[in-house]
Structure 1
Amino acid sequence: MKEYESKEALIAEIEKTSSKYIEEFADINETDANKRIEGVDRTPYENLTYQLGWLALIDQWEQTELAGKPLELPAPGIKWNKMGPLHEQFYEVHRGQSLAELMGLFNQAVKDLITWINSLSDEELFQSGGRKWAQSTASNWPVWKWVHINTVAPFKSFRTKIRKWKKEL
């Protein structure tokens, strides 16, 4: 996993990978957005709503902690080793929205994420213990690592999945 030397480096990587990821959706026809392709585990619609779901979870974790409320990660009633119901929740939240609407929501969610990252001190972002929610697993990761695993890494890997979907369509 890539280590970041600064907040600016993390943000630059998020901007780069999110831009490349979302560009893949520009030439997908709305009528094809929910087509299943053998060998590809998600439709473009599911792929994008999955990313929106994880971006929303990061924000939810942060808002819950700031409000001083108890937090159950990854989400209430969901265990890390049984994520299927969580992914179904992601899809349901955006059911009926167009691909264009989802793309707009994604771009806004990335902007909001970057604004939040900019609001954090280097200690909160890069040192273990910066947020209680980041200490919720045995990994004891700093916040930047949670951000990377839920943004940069899947933006790259899911971009590959969308490209495969488009090739097979």
Structure 2
Amino acid sequence: MAVPTTKEELVNAIHTNYQKLRKELETIPVELTVAEELEGHAKDTMMSVNNLIAYLIGWGELVLKWNKKKDNGETVDFPETGYKWNELGKLAQKFYTDYKDEDYSVLLQKLDITVDHIMILINGKSNEALYERSWYEKWTLGRMIQFNTASPYNNARGRIRKWKKSKE
């Protein structure tokens, strides 16, 4: 799928990639979701399906937080307060920890809610606001959203499919 360059393409990319991911997630037996058998987001680490979902929730919530702060004229610490762009593995570990006590069904519900809120955010913005001006450094808001939603959803689906194949 090509990188979205319009609001409509962004909505379609998120919707399509999330639906495909969600379909994969629905076929995983709950008892397998806690085993750390997937390659982690930090070098030489392993994660569980639950960790992967926590990661997606964490980034989705960051997108919402960034936008809210920007809309309120507040300063945004990118990517997150206390983390630099070269520390994304540590940030992933934080997301895993943030949601470690949640069971699989709760994580799926939280991910659904996060995706719904992102879609509401996008639908509340014009194409111009999403793609015709810089939002963070050289990146547009639409691109920042895509980097943290549609692309990771596609990546997560690939990781899960690879993991499922290894279980056959």
Q: State whether TM-score is above 0.5.
A: yes
Structure showing the higher strand proportion among its residues: 2
Superimposed CA distance per residue, residues 39-58 of structure 1 (whole angstroms, 9 cap, x where no aligned partner):
73332111111111110000
Counterpart residue identity of residue 148, structure 2:
N
TM-score (ref. length: structure 2): 0.88
Match in the other structure for 2:91: 86
Match in the other structure for 1:50: 55
Q: How many aligned residue pairs are there? A: 161
| CA distance 1:128–1:91, change in 2 (3 Å) | same
- Give the Å deviation of 1:142: 1.0
1:19 aligns with 2:19: yes
Unaligned 5+ segments in structure 1 are none
Within 5 Å, which residues of 2 pair with 1:1-20? 2-20=2-20
Contact 1:124–1:143 (8 Å) recurs in 2? yes
C-alpha distance in 1, partners of 2:64/2:74? Answer: 14
Unaligned 5+ segments in structure 2 are 41-46
Q: 3-12 or 65-74: which moved more?
A: 3-12
Within 5 Å, which residues of 2 pair with 1:91-130? 91-129=96-134
Counterpart residue identity of residue 157, structure 1:
N
- Aligned sequence identity (%): 25
- Give the Å deviation of 1:125: 0.3
TM-score (ref. length: structure 1): 0.87
Superimposed CA distance per residue, residues 111-131 of structure 1 (whole angstroms, 9 cap, x where no aligned partner):
1111110111221101123x3
- Give the Å deviation of 1:3: 4.1
SS in 2 for 1:117: helix
